[in-house]
Homo-oligomer: A and B are copies of this chain.
Amino acid sequence: MFMTQDNPVRLRDVARAAGVSQGTASNVFNRPDIVRQEVRERVEAAARELGYAGPSLTGRLLRAGKVNAIGVATAEPLTYFFEDQWARTMMAAIAAECDKQGAGLSIVSAMNRERPAWNIQSALVDGLILLCAEEGPALIGQTEKRELPFVALGLEESTVDAPGVGIDNRDGARQAAEHLVALGHRRIAILGIGESWNDRCATPEEVMTTPYLTVRDRVEGYWAGLATAGIAAGDVPYADTDSERETVWAAMSRLFAMERPPTAVLAMSDRVALFAIEWLKSQSRRVPEDVSVVGFDGIPEGADTLPALTTVQQPFQELAARAVASILNGEEIAARTVLPLPLVVRGSTGPAPKSEL
């Protein structure tokens, strides 16, 4: 046996040992059918003898020009891919798509002490999927330099027009609100994910000053849906959170300390919705009998809790399929493709309590 390090066996060496040309040796590994059996066996024997591990990928790669792998990049640290629920779900979908296509998958963090863009510059991939959270535009800028195909997911639309697939946040939110309205709810509160005004409920004007387009879109959708029942935006309590349990609980306390507490809550993410349900349970309020909760995102955890979460489902699989296809097969993507979001009704919403009708 030979160790890798001490063993720079090249195709050339194998060819020489087998007494054939390098071209023939190459064929043994890549198109064995066109090599005469006797020769093939000789070469294979030589390879085995020398401990040749097969053609070097880099050599082959250089010729082929294709890596057959895609990269997924974010401006967050690498751990984001495994810790953030949205990213994780999105990645599972992308991974499934890569599995189908037999492509490899690299994950890339654009955070690097020395050179922020270094990891993006040096990732060995045929194209990049950008998971845009906050730093979308910067990420896109770095990626463009690379002159590689890329698709932005979750990009906020105000930014550069780059190939990207987005979701119709506004319409999804509208459906969620109309669902509650149809169930008879009239006192409905919103749990935000804007990371500000943590201490009190915000006015509609204040809410719209948030820098996050996603938040603005969703809240506008909520308002539009509620408007169908004649509920004005100003009558909808809006409590913001930073998506952590603590601020969600605080927000819930605030909302339910009101004179006429809400009978339903529209949460801007499933994570927040789940924390909200947790709080309600801790207060011995039943879901959905006393209070209905609608989430947003459709992460798997939401389907698995008791009660299961009614939510606006992001089409993760579809987003992933489009993004991967666009990179691997060069399928064009309109600069701002937007997918619709279906509402998934599960156990966390029910008719408004009778006493409230």
A121 close to chain B: CB less than 8 A: yes
A146 close to chain B: CB less than 8 A: yes
- The answer to whether A82 touches B95, judged by C-beta atoms less than 8 angstroms apart, is yes
What sequence of 0s and 1s flags, for each residue 82-94 of chain A, a beta carbon within 8 Å of any chain B beta carbon?
1100001101100
Q: Which residue from chain B places its CB closest to the CB of A106 in the assembled complex?
A: B106
A32 close to chain B: CB less than 8 A: no
A259 close to chain B: CB less than 8 A: no
Chain B residues positioned under 8 Å from A2 (CB to CB)? 147
Query: Which residue of the partner chain, among B105, B146, B304, contacts A107 with CB atoms under 8 Å?
Result: B105
> Max chain B CB contacts within 10 Å: which of A111, A119, A149, A304?
A119
Minimum CB–CB distance from A105 to chain B (whole Å) comes to 5
Binds B, one of A17-25, A34-42, A51-59: A51-59
Binds B, one of A96-104, A185-193, A289-297: A96-104
Chain B residues positioned under 8 Å from A260 (CB to CB)? none
Minimum CB–CB distance from A33 to chain B (whole Å) comes to 16
> Max chain B CB contacts within 10 Å: which of A88, A95, A148?
A95
A335 close to chain B: CB less than 8 A: no
A325 close to chain B: CB less than 8 A: no
Query: Which residue of the partner chain, among B96, B108, B123, contacts A78 with CB atoms under 8 Å?
Result: B96
- The answer to whether A104 touches B77, judged by C-beta atoms less than 8 angstroms apart, is no
- The answer to whether B61 touches A77, judged by C-beta atoms less than 8 angstroms apart, is no
Chain B residues positioned under 8 Å from A53 (CB to CB)? 145-148
- The answer to whether B77 touches A96, judged by C-beta atoms less than 8 angstroms apart, is yes
Binds B, one of A62-70, A154-162, A230-238: A62-70
Query: Which residue of the partner chain, among B65, B82, B111, contacts A88 with CB atoms under 8 Å?
Result: B82
Which residues of chain A have a CB within 8 Å of any CB of chain B? 2-5, 7, 51, 53-54, 57-59, 61-62, 65, 67-69, 77-79, 81-83, 88-89, 91-92, 95-96, 98-99, 102, 104-109, 111-114, 118-119, 121-124, 145-149, 245, 278, 282, 300, 304, 306, 330
Interface pairs (9), CB distance under 8 Å: A58-B62, A61-B124, A62-B62, A78-B96, A81-B82, A82-B88, A82-B89, A82-B95, A278-B306
